[in-house]
């Protein structure tokens, strides 16, 4: 009998010992994540750019410095500007109304441009002129590697993710402009800039009104693989880099299509049927997905209009053709008047 009791006691002791040993090991491993230096050593370098990691980060911004006036009209003045984004200088172009008042702000993100051919303000200046004439400040960053900005990361994916941090740091810096009303900020994005705008809206999770012109909206990395026919090696290098990225990271954590439910503001989306860069089906699918996630979209489709919201030249139509660029901008102004005034 004593042997049986003794055996039971030993069994209990071993069970309790194993339990506490496992608990101690678990607690130790968990504690490693709270040790900042070690945590940083164990972290993969691009994990900090996942959408939810960026959503959990605070963006303090920096001083926006207006460098020089490059053009003036009776309604607005055009300035070059610069600010700091995570220790790197980023330049841009600002269109600021001339009146002595506080104005709502539209932060504009252009689409892809060839770095060697890029001119500051390209892709945003024409619409910015109309917005500024109607009493809105336009801020359009050049992005890293463009204009007078510092160079981006040499890692092709970190360079992409730095467009998000640049955009987020710029939005956080708007409060340093004395003529800007920081309670009234909207976002505009065209093409790849639309992809940046959507991602930024998801990261911020705030009710920011946004207007999108033919946004790139497919899942990452298909959203960049789609365009590899245009590069000399037809995407061979990029596919190799993507394979390496997928080996080390979960691509789903970097794809905007997985976080549409974080969008809180109303969106206006413009899409032309003659767009050869962003298929009409992409925007159709995006609108359905956003609405399914609980947000609202004003969706406008323009027959015969191309990627830049201009009538297809094959139709021999003028820029004043109904449904073209002028209609798009007029609808944007009405949209921002309603939600930023």
d(CA 47, CA 175): 29
Q: Is the dihedral of CA 319, 321, 325, 329 positive or negative?
A: positive
Backbone dihedral region for residue 52 (phi beyond 0: left; psi -120 to 50: alpha; all else: beta):
alpha
CB 171 within 8 A of CB 256: no
More confident site: 199 or 28: 199
Instruction: Look at residues 256, 148, 249 and name the one whose alpha carbon lies nearest to residue 200.
Output: 256
What is the model's pTM?
0.86
Average pLDDT across the chain, whole number: 89
Bridge-based pairing of strands 267-272 and 210-213 is parallel
Percentage of the chain beyond pLDDT 70 is 84
pLDDT (average), residues 34-42: 56
pLDDT (average), residues 289-298: 95
pLDDT band at 315 (very low <50, low <70, confident <90, very high): low
Q: 202-218 burial string, b = 16+ CB within 10 Å, else e?
A: bbbeeebbbbbbbbbbb
Per mean pLDDT, which of 28-32, 127-131, 221-225, 237-241 is the most reliable? 127-131
pLDDT (average), residues 217-227: 94
pLDDT (average), residues 98-114: 97
pLDDT band at 21 (very low <50, low <70, confident <90, very high): very low
And the tokens for 41?
């050593």
d(CA 259, CA 52): 9
């Amino acid at each position: 009998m004593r042997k049986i009791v003794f055996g039971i006691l030993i069994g209990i002791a071993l069970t309790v010992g194993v339990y506490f040993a496992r608990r101690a090991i678990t607690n130790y491993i968990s504690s490693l994540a709270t040790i900042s230096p070690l945590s940083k050593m164990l972290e993969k370098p691009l994990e900090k750019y996942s959408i939810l990691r960026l959503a959990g980060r605070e963006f303090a911004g920096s001083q926006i410095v207006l460098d020089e006036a490059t053009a003036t009209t009776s309604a607005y003045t055009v300035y070059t500007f610069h600010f700091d984004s995570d220790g790197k200088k980023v330049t841009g172009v600002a269109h600021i109304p001339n009146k002595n008042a506080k104005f709502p702000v539209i932060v504009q993100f252009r689409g892809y441009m060839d770095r060697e051919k890029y001119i500051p303000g390209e892709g945003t200046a024409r619409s910015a002129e109309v917005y500024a004439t109607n009493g809105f400040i336009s801020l359009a960053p050049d992005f890293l590697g463009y204009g007078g900005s510092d160079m981006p990361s040499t890692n092709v994916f970190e360079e992409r993710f730095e467009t998000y941090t640049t955009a987020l740091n710029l939005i956080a810096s708007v409060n340093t402009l004395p003529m800007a009303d920081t309670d009234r900020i909207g976002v505009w994005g065209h093409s790849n800039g639309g992809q940046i705008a959507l991602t930024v809206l998801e990261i911020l999770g705030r009710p920011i009104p946004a207007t999108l012109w033919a946004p790139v909206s497919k899942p990452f990395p298909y959203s960049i693989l789609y365009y590899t026919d245009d590069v000399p090696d037809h995407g061979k290098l990029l596919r190799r880099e993507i394979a390496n990225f997928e080996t080390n990271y979960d691509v789903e954590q970097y794809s905007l299509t997985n976080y549409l439910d974080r969008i809180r503001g109303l969106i206006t989306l413009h899409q032309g049927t003659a767009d050869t860069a962003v298929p009409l089906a992409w925007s159709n699918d995006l609108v359905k997905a956003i609405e399914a996630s609980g947000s609202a979209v004003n969706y406008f489709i323009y027959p015969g209009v191309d990627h830049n919201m201009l009538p297809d030249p094959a139709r021999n139509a003028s820029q004043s053709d109904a449904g073209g660029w002028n209609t798009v901008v007029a609808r944007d102004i009405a949209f921002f008047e309603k939600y930023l005034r």
